A = this chain, B = another copy of it.
Amino acid sequence: MSPEKQAAKGMADPMKPRGRPRSGQAHQAILAAALAELARSGFRALTVDAIAARAGVGKMTVYRRWPNKAAVVMDAFLSLVGPATAFPEAPRAIDRIRGQMRLQAAFFNGKFGRAIKALLGEAQFDAELAEAFRDRWLTPRRQMTRRMLREAVRQGDLRADRDLETVIDLLYGPIYYRLQLGTGPITAAYMEGVFARAMRGLARPSASA
């Protein structure tokens, strides 16, 4: 998926590189073009020819670096959004989580939301793409969330829980669900609702004995 992985195909990694070196300029141009085409046409209508043409690059140069169209677009997307949706600063970890959920809601509502939908949709048909999505988008964010959750437990705001994965799913599942299924708007208020119910629980206090 990544250029490094591509390059590793040749066996002579530590050897001195021969011939004309790859143009970093081309790399950037391709990513930019991919992003532009993604915005213009959406994922499906977008063609590799169009990306190459817009980048002023041969198609071969694209395929030398990425195995297929989905991978290019995925990389373009990730290169762009990498640092976004961080956890805002706050004294209590629980508030940082809540803040991040609000940020994510805003994020999912813009054009990035559409891009994520498309990429995630395509990933249903392409295992490698799905892996890339998990490894480079999802996992880092879950990692961060896990850290926050542990901190919140330490600070006495959350119960200790052996299975943080499920906890994360409970908090973030609903937002992806709405994004993909389109059952309603993804607003800050909605995220607050999810957060509050997840914290407090749905059962009547007396009943859960």
Contact = CB atoms under 8 A, between A and B. Distances in A.
Copies of this protein, total: 4
Contacts of A190: 166
B169 A170 contact: no
Interface string A166-182: 11011011111110111
Given A204-B156, A204-B157, A207-B157, A174 B169 contact: yes
B204 A201 contact: no
Interface in A65-107: none
A15 interface: no
Interface in A86-134: 117-118, 120-125, 130, 133-134
Interface of A: 42-44, 117-118, 120-125, 130, 133-134, 138, 142, 156-159, 161, 163, 165-167, 169-170, 172-178, 180-184, 190, 193-194, 197-204, 207-208
B194 A199 contact: no
- Across the A-B interface, the 4 shortest Cβ-Cβ residue pairs: A201-B201, A121-B124, A173-B173, A173-B174
21 contacts: A44-B125, A120-B180, A120-B181, A121-B121, A134-B181, A158-B202, A159-B203, A163-B193, A166-B174, A166-B190, A169-B177, A170-B197, A173-B175, A173-B177, A176-B180, A176-B181, A177-B177, A198-B198, A198-B202, A199-B201, A200-B201
A125 B134 contact: no
B176 A142 contact: no
A127 to B, nearest CB: 9
B194 A170 contact: yes
